[in-house]
Amino acid sequence: EILILDFGSQYTQLIARRLREEGIYSEIVPYFDGLKAAKEKKPKGIIFSGGPASVYEKDAYRVDKEIYELGLPILGICYGMQLITVDFGGEVVRADHHEYGKAELFIDEPHKLFDDVSNPTIVWMSHGDRVEKLAPGFKRIAHTSNAPYAAIVNEEKEIYAIQFHPEVTHSVEGQKILRNFARNVCGVTSKWDMAHFAKEQIKKIREQVGDNKVICALSGGVDSSVTAALLHEAIGDKLVPIFVDTGLLRKNEREQVEHAFKNVLHVPLITVDAREKFLSKLKGVVDPEEKRKIIGHTFIEVFDEEAKKHKDAKFLAQGTLYPDVIESVSVKGPSKTIKSHHNVGGLPDWMQFELIEPLRELFKDEVRKLGIELGLPSELVYRHPFPGPGLAIRIMGEVNEEDLNILREADAILIQELKAWGLYNDVWQAFAVLLNVRSVGVMGDNRTYDNTVAIRCVSSTDGMTATFSHLPHEFLERVSTRIINEVDGINRVVYDISSKPPATIEWE
Ligand code: XMP
């Protein structure tokens, strides 16, 4: 319904996301395909995203001007605003200083773009260029103290442009502005939701796959589980779902995944028991990076061996999410790389599969909604993220069976208590770390000399930054008492009070 032209902003996906939250369907295309897509897809309106470039640079990203003649409403955001201004004969200059941060937006007169929006309202600015002179036919409808032209319109052509970023949550009522554009200006009336998303993806997957088989590696985590469930909906027994038990999983994790797939979704999961292989390769290894590498390689080895048994498989499905896609959807350009992640599901090029990544437009919370839609149990869907290398990076030093069992028990108690206190969904991740530090304690009349466990609970929205969770002391006390009493081999529990940065979430 709404076509989004991507000019390379790192926020482009957020525009789509905000529209999805309002039940409005949108598609993103690179700016150079804009005209063609607008003709083919017949949207009700078009949004130009922001972008890192300057419109007056020689090779600035441009769009075929014919797009303005299609009679479709357009909303330009930031770079999009500057481009529209230049295209219609206005003037854009470099601002004296880069404007970055919150600003008060004053609405000059009531307007359907600002229905239900307070006046003034807080918006987020991030730009180095600004509109100096309006193009003929345009008038101002809102301003800030720094930006005289914060929102402008050409009423006759229904072309709108705004300097701020409505798609970021710092723009308090930005989502309403995007909704108003879609509903009030473009006349979008339909309601779109995750059920539609599932339907569309299923259709796409069927078209792409045809009669071929698709392999999918399950880790027990949310993303790969949802991917497998979606593929099974789409292609039934042409899906080969492979679950590798590395022996580095949490307590009952394998049973939970097996149960969900075999009994709830009726997907014939292939479990490969590689516990011994992983443990023997990790024997004597203490360096964190080496541990990670060994686990990565071993995973590929085990997975490859199993995949070879399914010679007719041509595709590999992965649960890549939007935050993993890092680079802006399609525009090769200076949108900034944030962080690349080693993922055990990531396979080397020599494995000759074509990739299917049906979740690559979604954020974690949307994937969870999709999982529920597909019938996955909520305990699985609302699980905390879990790293590919598993418990191995939560045991300092060498990994062995005995320590894994101790850690599993301590971790399970923490999670149980979080759920009992209604705190589980308030934290992004919570887990126990076995420190391999021994200390003296006293149990009854006896001296003990046992292991220490650290409890790590963090609040975060994306795992990129995090603060340690401020949990009630009574809760921590309960967790500590239970772990020390119930888990043999532990006589001390400490709480990790570091944030990221400078610490990381995991200890290795
Ligand atoms: P750090 O420790 O870097 O972790 O602050 C950030 C987030 O990423 C998870 N993590 C991983 N996930 N493979 C993964 O799939 C990995 O190798 C890996 N290492 C860390 C971590 O649990 C946290 O959510």
Per-chain mean pLDDT for the chain: 91
The pLDDT assigned to 18 comes to 94
Structure tokens at 363: 């954020």
Beta strands 121-133 and 159-162, pairing class: unpaired
Structure tokens of 88? Answer: 């219609």
pLDDT higher at 336 or 133: 133
Residues 175, 203, single domain; the answer is no
Same structural domain, 336 and 236: yes
Ligand 1: does its nearest atom lie under 6 Å from the Cβ of 500? yes
- Cα-based angle 328, 329, 331 (whole degrees, multiple of 5): 70
Phi/psi at 344 (nearest 5 deg)? -60, -30
Q: How far apart are CA 147 and CA 5, in angstroms?
A: 24
Tens digits of residue pLDDT in 444-457: 889 999 999 999 99
Residue 170 lies in a domain: yes
> Which tens digit of pLDDT belongs to each residue from 3-24?
999 998 888 989 999 999 999 9
374 and 405 inside one domain: no
Task: Tell whether omega for the bond before 323 is within 30 degrees of 0, i.e. cis.
Answer: no
343 lines ligand 1 (CB under 6 A): yes
Residues 162 and 253 in one domain: no
Give yes or no for residue 340 having a pLDDT over 50: no
98 CB less than 6 Å from ligand 1?
no
pLDDT of residue 347: 62
> Is 500 among the domain residues?
no
pTM for the full model? 0.79
Residue 147 has pLDDT above 70, yes or no: yes
How far does Cα 443 stand from its chain's mean position?
46
Are residues 48 and 139 both part of a single domain? yes
Spatial distance between the Cα atoms of 493 and 498, rounded to a whole number of angstroms: 16
Which of the 8 DSSP states describes residue 362? Answer: -
**Domain annotation covers residue 389:** no
3 state DSSP class of 502: coil
- Binding-site residue set: 219-225
pLDDT band (50, 70, 90) for residue 126: confident
| Candidate list 111, 143, 165, 384, residue with the active-site label | 165
Give yes or no: 216 in active site: no
Give the range among 58-62, 109-113, 439-443 with minimum mean pLDDT. Answer: 58-62
Cβ-contact 457, 430 below 8 angstroms: yes
Considering the domain boundaries, does residue 34 fall inside one?
yes
- How many domains is the chain built from? 3
- CB 274 within 8 Å of CB 246: yes
Same domain, 200 and 294: yes
Q: Is the pLDDT of residue 328 over 50?
A: no
Neighbours of 428 (CB within 10 A): 19
Task: Give the pLDDT mean for 32-54.
Answer: 94
Last residue of some domain: 312, 346, 381?
Answer: 381
In a shared domain, residues 227 and 147:
no
C-alpha 506 – ligand 1 centre gap (Å): 7
Query: Where residue 33 sits, what CATH number does that domain have?
Result: 3.40.50.880
In whole angstroms, give the CA distance from residue 170 to residue 126. Answer: 11
CATH of residue 294's domain is 3.40.50.620
- CB atoms inside a 10 Å sphere around CB 142: 27
Regarding an ipTM greater than 0.90, the answer is yes
Q: What is the Cα 148 distance to its own chain's centre?
A: 35
% of the chain at pLDDT higher than 90 = 75
Tell me: do 215 and 108 sit in the same domain: no
Residue 507 inside a domain? The answer is no
Same domain? 248 vs 110:
no
- For the chain, the distance separating the N- and C-terminal CA atoms, rounded to the nearest angstrom, is 46
Residue 387 lies in a domain: no
Ligand 1 center to 390 CA (angstroms): 10
Average pLDDT of the segment spanning 239-266: 93
pLDDT of amino acid 388: 87
Asked if the model's pLDDT at residue 200 lies above 70, the reply is yes
- Tell me the per-residue pLDDT of 281-315, one tens digit each, with 9 for 90 and over: 999 999 999 999 999 999 989 998 999 999 889 99
> Can you give the pLDDT at residue 344?
42
- CB distance 219 to ligand 1 below 6 Å: no
In 3D space, the residue among 274, 358, 277 whose CA is nearest the CA of residue 315 turns out to be: 358
How many angstroms separate the alpha carbon of residue 410 from the centre of ligand 1?
20
Spatial distance between the Cα atoms of 308 and 300, rounded to a whole number of angstroms: 12
167 noted as active-site residue: yes
**CA neighbor of 371 nearest in space, from 479, 232, 179:** 232
Last-in-domain residue among 136, 162, 185 = 185
3-class secondary structure for 156-207? CCCEEEECCCCCCCCCCCHHHHHHHHHHHHCCCCCCCCHHHHHHHHHHHHHH
Phi, psi of 426 (to 5 degrees): -85, -15
pLDDT band at 346 (very low <50, low <70, confident <90, very high): low
Position 56 scores a pLDDT of: 86
Q: Is 76 close to ligand 1, i.e. is its CB under 6 Å away? A: no
Distance of CA 454 to the CA centre of its chain: 27
Rounded alpha-carbon distances, angstroms, from residue 103 to 79, 100, 153, 164, 173: 18, 9, 20, 9, 13
Please indicate, yes or no, if residue 251 is contained in any of the structural domains: yes
Based on the fold, state whether residues 360 and 455 are members of the same structural domain.
no
Answer whether residue 326 shows pLDDT above 80: no
Does the pLDDT value for residue 330 go beyond 60?
A: no
| 490 and 453 Cβ atoms separated by less than 8 Å | yes
Confidence at residue 115, expressed as pLDDT on a 0 to 100 scale? 96
Which two tokens mark 286? 């203490």
* CATH, residue 482: 3.30.300.10
Q: pLDDT for 153-164, tens place per residue?
A: 999 999 999 999
Domain end call among 324, 346, 381: 381
Q: Report the DSSP beta bridge partners of residue 451.
A: 438, 490
Decide if pLDDT at 368 tops 70.
Answer: yes
392 is a domain residue: no
Instruction: Please give the average per-residue pLDDT across 394-413, as a whole number.
Output: 98
Ligand 1 within 6 A of CB of 505: yes
- The answer to whether 303 and 217 have CB atoms below 8 angstroms apart is yes
Q: Whose CA is nearest to atom 10 of ligand 1?
A: 387
Distance of CA 394 to the CA centre of its chain: 23
**Does 145 lie in the same domain as 22?**
yes
Distance CA 73, CA 286 (A): 60
State the catalytic residue, choosing from 99, 111, 143, 167: 167
Q: Which domain covers residue 431, as residue numbers?
A: 400-495
Q: How many CB atoms lie within 10 A of CB 371?
A: 23
- Closest by alpha carbon to 151, among 189, 104, 184? 104
In the predicted structure, residue 146 carries a pLDDT above the cut 70: yes
Q: Exposed, middle or buried by CB within 10 Å (0-12, 13-18, 19+), for 314? A: middle
- Is 174 in the same domain as 244? no
Nearest protein Cα to ligand 1, atom 14: 387
* DSSP summary character for residue 500: B
Rg (CA), the chain: 26
pLDDT value at position 127? 83
- Residue 351 confidence class, pLDDT cut points 50, 70, 90: confident
* Contact of 63 with 31, CB cutoff 8 Å: yes
